[in-house]
Amino acid sequence: MVEILQPVLPVADMASAFWQSTLPGKVIVLLLFLGSASAWTIMVTKGMQLRAAGRSTEQFLTAFRAERDPTVLFTRREEMAGTPLQTMYREGCKALGAELQVQGVDPDDLLMGHLTSESHRHLSLNQLETVRSVVDRNLADEVLLLEDQMGLLATAVSAAPFLGLLGTVWGVMDAFAGMALAGNAALSAVAPGISGALLTTIIGLIVALPSMIGYNLLSAEIRRISVQMDNFAQEFISGIQNSYVIEAK
């Protein structure tokens, strides 16, 4: 009985495909690896930042809503690190103190709410709008800080597949050009080059898919914190309006 030996083909893997690819393909793969490292760094650091901000924001809102006067936390010098509300609150209270000081309130008695003399708690609508503008400006600044580096992550999501496709098309083109020059139409002549070319598309998808998931999750958390910030700004201004007599001059 004659045993027919079947040729053993090497098992394709990413390492061999990388070394069989052309120089442009290798460069594109390396760029994609660098992009993947950057994307994962952004996702991990931004995720930790947003998690800490969300936890601190809940604690701050609980403490703020537990007090009747909107400036109590400021006068007690209570600060909660990590929440974007802290900066909004501090600058808003400083703006309120500046407006009260214009009316002759002693700096040591600023922002004492119902403890301050009623004659010193008369704010005009223009003064209230000044405080509101300070809070809104700091809100916008804090939102920009929350969204920092999200553009780079969005770039990884959109650019990685196209960069991988570029490497694939380039590699396939080189493989067929080499086949034409060699005058050999056998599949074994172009298979290594095509395998290396397809590697760039695989790497591009490997970079894009986690980046897309991370981007969506981080964006949802940023939107949630941004809504909390906007709600707090309205609560803070409403609290000032209720605690201080608002009169139009």
The per-residue pLDDT for range 75-90, each reduced to its tens digit, is: 888 788 889 999 999 9
**For residue 242, is it within any domain?**
yes
Look up the domain containing 34 and give its range: 14-60+68-246
Structural domain contains residue 142: yes
Which comes out higher in pLDDT, residue 21 or 81? 81
- Is 175 part of a structural domain of the chain? yes
Closest CA to 93 of 237, 234, 232, 246: 237
pLDDT per position as a tens digit, 113-137: 554 555 556 777 888 889 999 999 9
- pLDDT tens sequence across 147-199: 998 999 999 899 998 888 888 888 777 767 666 665 655 555 555 567 677 77
Core vs surface per residue 57-69: b (16+ CB within 10 A) or e: beebbeebeeeeb
| Coil vs helix vs strand at 122 | strand
Q: Whole-angstrom Cα distance, residue 189 to residue 175? A: 8
- Residue 9 falls inside a structural domain: no
For residue 1, being part of any structural domain is answered with no
What is the per-residue burial (b if ≥16 Cβ within 10 Å, else e) of 105-125? beeeebbbbeebeeebbebee
Q: Are 147 and 50 in contact (CB under 8 A)?
A: no
How far is CA 151 from each of CA 126, 165, 173, 222, rounded to the nearest angstrom?
A: 37, 22, 33, 13
Stretch 30-56: mean pLDDT, rounded? Answer: 92
- pLDDT score at 232: 94
With respect to residue 7, please indicate whether it lies within any of the assigned structural domains. no
The reported pLDDT for the residue numbered 58 is: 92
- Domain count of the fold of the chain: 1
**Is residue 2 situated within a structural domain?**
no
- Block residue for tokens 């995720």: 47
- Average pLDDT, stretch 38-65? 92
Query: How far apart are alpha carbons 70 and 121 in whole angstroms?
Result: 14
| Cα 245 versus chain centre, distance | 40
Q: Does 4 map to a domain?
A: no
Confidence of residue 11 (pLDDT cuts 50, 70, 90): very low
